Amino acid sequence: MRKLAKTFKAMSDETRLRILNILLERECCVCEVMQVLDITQSRASRHLSTLCDAGFLKFRRQGLWAMYSIDWEGMNKNHIDLVATVKEALINNQTAISDKRKLSQAVKIGLSGCAVAGVNNLREN
């Protein structure tokens, strides 16, 4: 029951849905999520952590950056179906379209703006 509650909690927030939307395009670091969504590092990390804890995302370290992506291999069928539903629901959403446009211009920035802090509690893949 707890796992199911985590799943729905992760999907019940607009910011996390926007994060899933951009990660459906490509792997991103925290600073790219910050730039696209215009949010702070702590807020981006908190939402990414929630999505990881619920089993939707994985991360890996690449030098100074924590890179996040959809965990297609680690997700169960229900999670995959939920992500597919989100993707379909956001096809014509103007915020989602704008976020994807901003993602094409987002860049990795130095450690001060894109720290790997806050990912120590997550599993590395």
pLDDT band at 116 (very low <50, low <70, confident <90, very high): very low
Residues 17 and 11: beta-carbon distance below 8 Å: yes
Q: Is the pTM value of this prediction over 0.75?
A: yes
Token digits of residue 19: 């994060």
Q: How many whole angstroms separate alpha carbon 104 and alpha carbon 22?
A: 10
Q: How many whole angstroms separate alpha carbon 61 and alpha carbon 43?
A: 19
- Delineate the domains of the chain, giving CATH numbers in brackets: 2-103 (1.10.10.10)
pLDDT in tens, 43-90: 999 999 999 999 999 999 988 788 999 999 999 999 999 999 999 999
